[in-house]
Amino acid sequence: MAIDYDKAMTMKREGVEFTYGDRETMLYALSVGMGRDPLDETELAYTFEKETLKTLPSMACVLSRMTVGHDAGQDRSKTVHGEQRLTLHRPLPPEGDIIADCKVIDIIDKGPGRGALIYTQTDARLKSDSAPLYSIVSTSFARGDGGFGGPSGAGLPLHEAPSRSPDANCDLEIRKDQALLYRLNGDRNPLHADPQMAIRVGFPVPILHGLCTYGTACYGILKTMLDYKPDDVRGMDVRFSSPVFPGETIRTNMWKDGSVISFECRVEERDVTVLKNGKITLAQ
Protein backbone atom coordinates (compact mmCIF):
# COMPACT_ATOMS: atom_id res chain seq x y z
CA MET A 1 0.00 0.00 0.00
CA ALA A 2 1.34 3.44 -0.95
CA ILE A 3 0.67 6.91 0.40
CA ASP A 4 -2.50 8.39 -1.09
CA TYR A 5 -1.41 12.02 -1.49
CA ASP A 6 -4.81 13.47 -2.40
CA LYS A 7 -6.53 11.69 0.48
CA ALA A 8 -3.84 12.67 2.97
CA MET A 9 -3.95 16.35 2.06
CA THR A 10 -7.65 16.51 3.02
CA MET A 11 -7.10 15.02 6.48
CA LYS A 12 -7.97 17.31 9.37
CA ARG A 13 -9.71 17.50 12.73
CA GLU A 14 -11.19 20.73 14.04
CA GLY A 15 -12.55 22.02 17.31
CA VAL A 16 -11.27 19.17 19.50
CA GLU A 17 -11.37 20.09 23.19
CA PHE A 18 -8.77 19.13 25.79
CA THR A 19 -8.54 19.91 29.50
CA TYR A 20 -5.47 19.83 31.72
CA GLY A 21 -4.87 20.80 35.33
CA ASP A 22 -2.06 21.24 37.80
CA ARG A 23 -1.79 17.44 38.10
CA GLU A 24 -0.80 17.13 34.44
CA THR A 25 1.58 20.09 34.73
CA MET A 26 3.41 18.62 37.72
CA LEU A 27 3.46 15.13 36.18
CA TYR A 28 5.05 16.48 33.01
CA ALA A 29 7.79 18.29 34.94
CA LEU A 30 8.56 15.15 36.96
CA SER A 31 8.54 12.98 33.83
CA VAL A 32 11.32 14.98 32.14
CA GLY A 33 13.53 14.90 35.22
CA MET A 34 12.59 17.82 37.44
CA GLY A 35 12.21 17.40 41.19
CA ARG A 36 14.99 14.86 41.74
CA ASP A 37 16.07 17.04 44.67
CA PRO A 38 12.83 17.66 46.59
CA LEU A 39 14.52 20.45 48.57
CA ASP A 40 15.40 22.48 45.46
CA GLU A 41 12.85 25.28 45.76
CA THR A 42 13.55 26.51 42.23
CA GLU A 43 12.30 23.24 40.76
CA LEU A 44 9.53 22.94 43.34
CA ALA A 45 7.96 25.87 41.51
CA TYR A 46 7.25 23.35 38.70
CA THR A 47 6.34 20.34 40.85
CA PHE A 48 4.46 21.71 43.87
CA GLU A 49 1.30 23.82 43.79
CA LYS A 50 2.04 25.77 47.00
CA GLU A 51 2.40 29.04 45.08
CA THR A 52 1.90 29.95 41.42
CA LEU A 53 2.83 26.82 39.49
CA LYS A 54 5.31 27.24 36.62
CA THR A 55 4.93 25.35 33.34
CA LEU A 56 7.64 23.92 31.09
CA PRO A 57 7.15 25.35 27.56
CA SER A 58 7.73 21.95 25.95
CA MET A 59 4.61 20.61 27.68
CA ALA A 60 2.56 22.08 24.83
CA CYS A 61 3.57 19.03 22.79
CA VAL A 62 1.56 16.64 24.98
CA LEU A 63 -1.58 18.73 25.57
CA SER A 64 -3.47 18.10 22.31
CA ARG A 65 -2.56 14.69 20.91
CA MET A 66 -4.34 13.94 17.62
CA THR A 67 -3.62 11.29 14.99
CA VAL A 68 -4.22 13.18 11.74
CA GLY A 69 -2.09 11.77 8.91
CA HIS A 70 -1.30 8.43 10.57
CA ASP A 71 -3.47 6.49 8.08
CA ALA A 72 -2.42 8.05 4.78
CA GLY A 73 -1.27 4.69 3.43
CA GLN A 74 2.28 4.73 4.80
CA ASP A 75 3.93 1.69 6.38
CA ARG A 76 3.51 2.68 10.03
CA SER A 77 6.02 0.08 11.21
CA LYS A 78 8.71 2.04 9.36
CA THR A 79 7.49 5.54 10.26
CA VAL A 80 9.31 7.59 12.92
CA HIS A 81 8.98 11.03 14.44
CA GLY A 82 11.48 13.14 12.51
CA GLU A 83 11.13 16.78 13.59
CA GLN A 84 9.19 18.97 16.02
CA ARG A 85 8.61 22.70 15.72
CA LEU A 86 6.80 24.56 18.52
CA THR A 87 5.67 28.19 18.51
CA LEU A 88 4.26 29.65 21.73
CA HIS A 89 1.99 32.61 21.10
CA ARG A 90 1.92 33.27 24.85
CA PRO A 91 3.13 31.43 27.95
CA LEU A 92 1.37 28.20 28.86
CA PRO A 93 -0.88 28.56 31.91
CA PRO A 94 -0.55 25.80 34.55
CA GLU A 95 -4.09 24.62 33.78
CA GLY A 96 -6.73 25.31 31.19
CA ASP A 97 -9.34 24.24 28.66
CA ILE A 98 -8.04 24.36 25.09
CA ILE A 99 -9.50 23.88 21.61
CA ALA A 100 -7.25 22.50 18.89
CA ASP A 101 -7.33 22.07 15.12
CA CYS A 102 -4.98 19.70 13.27
CA LYS A 103 -4.36 19.07 9.58
CA VAL A 104 -1.84 17.63 7.13
CA ILE A 105 -0.03 20.59 5.55
CA ASP A 106 2.48 18.93 3.22
CA ILE A 107 3.94 15.61 2.06
CA ILE A 108 7.35 15.41 0.39
CA ASP A 109 8.27 12.39 -1.73
CA LYS A 110 12.04 11.96 -1.36
CA GLY A 111 12.15 9.21 -3.98
CA PRO A 112 12.45 5.41 -4.07
CA GLY A 113 14.45 4.09 -1.15
CA ARG A 114 14.63 7.54 0.48
CA GLY A 115 11.27 7.74 2.19
CA ALA A 116 8.67 10.50 2.53
CA LEU A 117 8.10 13.42 4.90
CA ILE A 118 4.58 14.00 6.26
CA TYR A 119 3.99 17.38 7.91
CA THR A 120 1.06 18.03 10.24
CA GLN A 121 0.17 21.27 12.00
CA THR A 122 -1.75 21.73 15.25
CA ASP A 123 -3.08 25.13 16.31
CA ALA A 124 -4.44 25.48 19.85
CA ARG A 125 -6.31 28.28 21.58
CA LEU A 126 -7.66 28.80 25.07
CA LYS A 127 -11.38 28.16 25.32
CA SER A 128 -11.79 31.09 27.70
CA ASP A 129 -10.86 33.80 25.19
CA SER A 130 -10.18 32.00 21.85
CA ALA A 131 -6.77 33.69 21.58
CA PRO A 132 -3.97 31.58 20.03
CA LEU A 133 -1.92 29.64 22.58
CA TYR A 134 0.53 27.53 20.56
CA SER A 135 1.20 26.00 17.15
CA ILE A 136 3.07 22.77 16.46
CA VAL A 137 4.43 21.47 13.17
CA SER A 138 5.37 17.80 13.45
CA THR A 139 7.24 15.82 10.81
CA SER A 140 6.88 12.08 10.36
CA PHE A 141 9.54 10.29 8.34
CA ALA A 142 7.94 7.41 6.44
CA ARG A 143 11.12 5.48 5.70
CA GLY A 144 9.49 2.85 3.50
CA ASP A 145 7.25 5.05 1.38
CA GLY A 146 9.43 7.06 -0.99
CA GLY A 147 8.54 6.95 -4.68
CA PHE A 148 4.76 7.08 -4.30
CA GLY A 149 4.46 9.77 -6.98
CA GLY A 150 4.03 12.84 -4.79
CA PRO A 151 5.76 16.23 -5.05
CA SER A 152 9.48 16.32 -4.37
CA GLY A 153 11.41 18.86 -2.32
CA ALA A 154 13.87 19.36 0.47
CA GLY A 155 11.32 19.85 3.25
CA LEU A 156 11.35 22.63 5.83
CA PRO A 157 14.74 24.28 6.45
CA LEU A 158 16.70 23.13 9.50
CA HIS A 159 18.50 25.40 11.95
CA GLU A 160 22.28 25.00 12.10
CA ALA A 161 24.28 25.36 15.29
CA PRO A 162 27.32 27.71 15.31
CA SER A 163 30.71 26.17 14.47
CA ARG A 164 32.32 27.45 17.69
CA SER A 165 32.59 25.47 20.90
CA PRO A 166 29.39 25.44 23.01
CA ASP A 167 28.83 28.39 25.33
CA ALA A 168 27.43 26.04 27.99
CA ASN A 169 26.31 22.47 28.54
CA CYS A 170 24.14 20.55 30.97
CA ASP A 171 24.22 16.84 31.86
CA LEU A 172 20.94 15.22 32.97
CA GLU A 173 20.63 11.57 33.90
CA ILE A 174 17.69 9.61 32.49
CA ARG A 175 16.38 7.26 35.16
CA LYS A 176 15.79 3.64 34.15
CA ASP A 177 12.07 4.01 34.86
CA GLN A 178 11.68 7.39 33.17
CA ALA A 179 9.92 6.12 30.02
CA LEU A 180 7.33 4.38 32.24
CA LEU A 181 6.64 7.70 33.95
CA TYR A 182 6.69 9.81 30.78
CA ARG A 183 4.16 7.57 28.98
CA LEU A 184 1.53 8.72 31.52
CA ASN A 185 1.48 12.04 29.64
CA GLY A 186 -0.49 10.23 26.92
CA ASP A 187 1.88 8.35 24.59
CA ARG A 188 1.21 4.68 25.46
CA ASN A 189 3.25 3.23 22.56
CA PRO A 190 4.43 -0.14 23.94
CA LEU A 191 7.85 0.39 22.35
CA HIS A 192 8.61 2.51 25.41
CA ALA A 193 7.50 -0.10 27.96
CA ASP A 194 7.43 -3.63 26.54
CA PRO A 195 10.86 -5.37 26.57
CA GLN A 196 9.71 -8.09 24.14
CA MET A 197 8.43 -5.58 21.59
CA ALA A 198 11.65 -3.56 21.84
CA ILE A 199 13.68 -6.67 20.99
CA ARG A 200 11.38 -7.54 18.06
CA VAL A 201 12.03 -4.15 16.42
CA GLY A 202 15.77 -4.23 17.04
CA PHE A 203 16.38 -2.48 20.38
CA PRO A 204 17.92 -4.19 23.42
CA VAL A 205 15.46 -2.48 25.79
CA PRO A 206 12.46 -0.13 25.50
CA ILE A 207 13.61 3.30 24.31
CA LEU A 208 12.84 6.74 25.69
CA HIS A 209 10.16 8.79 23.94
CA GLY A 210 11.71 11.31 21.54
CA LEU A 211 9.51 14.00 23.07
CA CYS A 212 10.86 13.09 26.52
CA THR A 213 14.36 13.81 25.22
CA TYR A 214 12.92 17.06 23.81
CA GLY A 215 11.43 17.98 27.20
CA THR A 216 14.68 17.08 28.97
CA ALA A 217 16.54 19.46 26.65
CA CYS A 218 14.03 22.21 27.45
CA TYR A 219 14.57 21.59 31.18
CA GLY A 220 18.36 21.71 30.79
CA ILE A 221 18.25 24.96 28.82
CA LEU A 222 15.92 26.64 31.33
CA LYS A 223 18.19 25.52 34.14
CA THR A 224 21.48 26.52 32.51
CA MET A 225 20.76 29.62 30.45
CA LEU A 226 17.38 31.08 31.42
CA ASP A 227 17.40 31.03 35.23
CA TYR A 228 14.29 28.79 35.14
CA LYS A 229 12.17 31.52 33.46
CA PRO A 230 9.75 29.70 31.14
CA ASP A 231 7.94 32.82 29.93
CA ASP A 232 11.06 33.85 27.99
CA VAL A 233 10.60 30.93 25.56
CA ARG A 234 8.63 31.57 22.37
CA GLY A 235 9.62 28.56 20.31
CA MET A 236 11.52 25.27 20.30
CA ASP A 237 12.49 23.36 17.15
CA VAL A 238 14.46 20.12 16.85
CA ARG A 239 15.28 17.11 14.67
CA PHE A 240 15.30 13.65 16.23
CA SER A 241 18.42 11.78 15.15
CA SER A 242 18.86 8.76 17.46
CA PRO A 243 17.02 7.10 20.35
CA VAL A 244 17.96 7.35 24.02
CA PHE A 245 17.98 4.34 26.34
CA PRO A 246 16.75 4.87 29.91
CA GLY A 247 19.70 4.94 32.30
CA GLU A 248 21.87 7.04 29.97
CA THR A 249 22.92 10.67 30.46
CA ILE A 250 21.82 13.40 28.04
CA ARG A 251 24.31 16.22 27.56
CA THR A 252 22.74 19.35 26.07
CA ASN A 253 25.25 21.66 24.37
CA MET A 254 24.09 25.28 23.97
CA TRP A 255 25.07 28.39 22.02
CA LYS A 256 23.38 31.75 22.69
CA ASP A 257 23.21 34.48 20.04
CA GLY A 258 20.81 37.29 20.89
CA SER A 259 17.26 35.94 21.06
CA VAL A 260 18.25 32.48 19.75
CA ILE A 261 19.69 29.55 21.70
CA SER A 262 21.03 26.80 19.44
CA PHE A 263 21.39 23.37 20.99
CA GLU A 264 22.07 19.71 20.40
CA CYS A 265 21.82 16.69 22.70
CA ARG A 266 24.33 13.87 22.95
CA VAL A 267 24.67 10.61 24.81
CA GLU A 268 28.35 10.58 25.69
CA GLU A 269 28.30 6.91 26.75
CA ARG A 270 27.66 5.87 23.14
CA ASP A 271 29.20 8.92 21.42
CA VAL A 272 25.95 9.63 19.57
CA THR A 273 23.95 12.79 18.92
CA VAL A 274 20.27 12.21 19.71
CA LEU A 275 18.82 15.68 18.96
CA LYS A 276 20.14 17.91 16.18
CA ASN A 277 19.34 21.32 14.68
CA GLY A 278 17.89 22.52 17.97
CA LYS A 279 16.66 26.11 18.25
CA ILE A 280 15.06 27.96 21.16
CA THR A 281 13.54 31.32 20.23
CA LEU A 282 13.28 33.86 23.05
CA ALA A 283 10.99 36.82 23.58
CA GLN A 284 12.60 40.00 22.26
Catalytic site positions? 187, 192
The span from the CA of 170 to the CA of 278, in Å, is 15
- Rounded to whole angstroms, the maximal C-alpha distance in the chain is 57
Segments in 201-264 forming alpha helices (H): 210-225
The span from the CA of 84 to the CA of 235, in Å, is 11
Check if the beta carbon of residue 220 is closer than 8 Å to that of residue 172.
Answer: yes
Check if the beta carbon of residue 187 is closer than 8 Å to that of residue 62.
Answer: yes
Distances (CA, A) of 187 to 8, 85, 97, 106, 179: 23, 18, 20, 24, 10
Q: Three-state DSSP class for 195?
A: helix
